[in-house]
Amino acid sequence: MSDRAKFIAKIGAGAAVLAVTLVTGWEGYSARVSRDPIGRLQACYGHDDQTMTLGQQYSPAECRAFLDTDLLVHAGVLDCIAWPPRGTLTDGEKAALVSFAYNVGVPKACGSTFVRRLNAGEGTAACAELDRWVFAGGKDCRIKSNNCIGIVNRRAAERKVCES
């Protein structure tokens, strides 16, 4: 079974479509390895691999394979959900959770107030916690001069999907 099929099986088809839309929309696309706003190497749809070579280029097929694998890895955040059982999360909650984990990493996502509140069954209040995750590299992204307003906009989009 492909990573894409495993991802869809793990979170469901509806949530998978929402998650792919969120991730690809906010990560953007660049086939060439570059540095992200906090200095990490990335390529394609935000694929983070610090062994890549700056300037290296990947094909569209390679980028899609990275995306499929990365989505499956970050869907591991659903394993941190104890209550309510994963089956009772909405597609929006699952998609927002995967997008959030894709951006901050599974360990940080699992330790977040967002996940704690989802586990407490506080869906709407849990989604509101996304508004707190607006820092990148120690910078408050709500301050326009820090040049990371995209994080604030991404969290707003994730929250909207989460609450839908």
* CATH number assigned to the domain comprising residue 86: 1.10.530.40
Give backbone dihedrals phi and psi of 135, rounded to 5 degrees, phi first: -120, 145
Q: What is the pLDDT along the chain (164 residues), one digit of tens a residue?
A: 999 999 999 999 999 999 999 999 998 899 999 998 778 899 999 999 999 999 999 999 999 999 999 999 999 999 999 866 666 889 999 999 999 999 999 999 999 999 999 888 888 899 999 999 999 888 898 999 988 888 999 999 999 999 98
Structure tokens at 119: 């586990």
Taking the model in full, what pTM does it have? 0.90
Q: How many domains does the chain have?
A: 1
Q: Domain range spanning residue 132?
A: 3-163
Q: List the strands of the sheet with 41-44, edge to edge.
A: 30-35, 41-44, 47-48
Q: Among residues 6, 28, 11, which one has the least CA distance to residue 92?
A: 11
Active site residue 49: no
The answer to whether residue 36 is catalytic is: yes
Determine the straight-line distance between the first and last CA of the chain, rounded to whole angstroms: 30
Identify whether the C-beta of residue 150 lies closer than 8 Å to the C-beta of residue 126: no
User: Of 27, 70, 93, 158, which residue is the catalytic one?
Assistant: 27
Out of 36, 49, 79, 140, which one is annotated catalytic? 36
